[in-house]
Amino acid sequence: MKIALWAENLACPVASVQAWADMAEAQVKAASDAGAEVILFPEYSAAHWLHFVPRTLKGPAQLAQLADFSAEAIERMASLAVQYGLLVISGTFPVKHSGLNPPLVNRAHAFFPDGRLATQDKLCLTPFEKDPRDWNLSPGTALNVFEWQGYRMAVVICLDIELPALSARLATLDLDLILVPSMTAKLAGYHRVFSCARARAVELLAAVAAVGCIAGAPECEQEISGASFFLPAEEKFGHTGVLAELSPSYTAEGAGPLLVRELPLDDIRAMRRGGKGEVWPGAWTAD
């Protein structure tokens, strides 16, 4: 399966949700032209909308405004998936959830070409995300698995990929691909997320695709990230566990770079299900 990762440049100015969606469409089209079947945006791709949010809005009011824009973005992303025939995972948007207090979640949306929609809420929030004075979000409550073209996938959002307890749950799910949208303001944060993503490929004998946003929008920290495809560190897949990567950067040209690669998901699945890893014992529980 060929997958595209968009390391979104938040510094590239946009004046509306539609202008942002036009920028996103250019990336979806480029991915489609390259033969990709999936495109992944970074966590908080919605932070790009801070270019046109009033500067007077801070903290929870700022995030609530972004959430108000989400419905328009969701409608446009759904149409792009159908138009270009790709699975579009549009990073994450803040979304209102009336059953929770606080009533906002950090949600990833997976838009399928057949019109289906799958979602994943971030499960473990950073101190900034939880702080009532800042973005004041609620954590998600469920880890979801979805299938596309016969492959089992999960979206694991940024900090969630760093958590051993969640990794143990992932090990029971027979996943072919883990998609990791992220947002990190420090090089240390980038390395935590991407190092753990690489470890999950080894631990779970699965492919992992990770991408983050670059630079910053107004009222947003300067972000640093890149994009990587990780495979099990097995001789068959090139020994290192790294298929391809864009090095982390605080700056980017234009809308940000796109990394596209073919992932050997069939071979990885055969190795995992057939017990053919060099030393991998399967989903070992340590009990």
Task: CATH number of the domain at 261, please.
Answer: 3.60.110.10
**pLDDT attached to residue 88:** 99
Residue with tokens 């609620």: 138
Residue 93 in any domain: the answer is yes
Residue 18 in any domain: the answer is yes
Residue 284 in any domain: the answer is no
Q: Which of 142-156, 193-207, 214-228, 254-268 has the lowest mean pLDDT?
A: 214-228
pLDDT at residue 35 above 90?
A: yes
Across residues 138-148, what is the average pLDDT? 97
**pLDDT attached to residue 29:** 99
Q: Which of 62-66, 107-111, 172-176 has the lowest mean pLDDT?
A: 62-66
Residue 126 in any domain: the answer is yes
Residue 282 in any domain: the answer is no
pLDDT at residue 202 above 90?
A: yes
Nearest alpha-carbon partner for 212 in 28, 40, 37 = 40
- Sheet hosting strand 242-249, strand order edge to edge: 146-148, 151-155, 177-182, 207-212, 225-230, 242-249
Task: State how far the alpha carbon of 200 is from the alpha carbons of 166, 231, 284, in Å.
Answer: 11, 9, 14
Nearest alpha-carbon partner for 158 in 121, 131, 118 = 121
Dig out the tokens for 33 from the structure. Answer: 């032209």
Look up the domain containing 112 and give its range.
2-274
pLDDT at residue 287 above 90?
A: no
Residue 164 in any domain: the answer is yes
Across residues 212-236, what is the average pLDDT? 95
The domain total for the chain is 1
Residue 62 in any domain: the answer is yes
Residue 80 in any domain: the answer is yes
How far is Cα of residue 60 from the mean position of the Cα atoms in its chain?
A: 23
What's the pLDDT band for 276 if we cut at 50, 70, 90?
Answer: confident
Across residues 184-194, what is the average pLDDT? 98
What's the pLDDT band for 111 if we cut at 50, 70, 90?
Answer: very high
Q: How far is Cα 153 from Cα 257, in angstroms, rounded to an integer?
A: 24
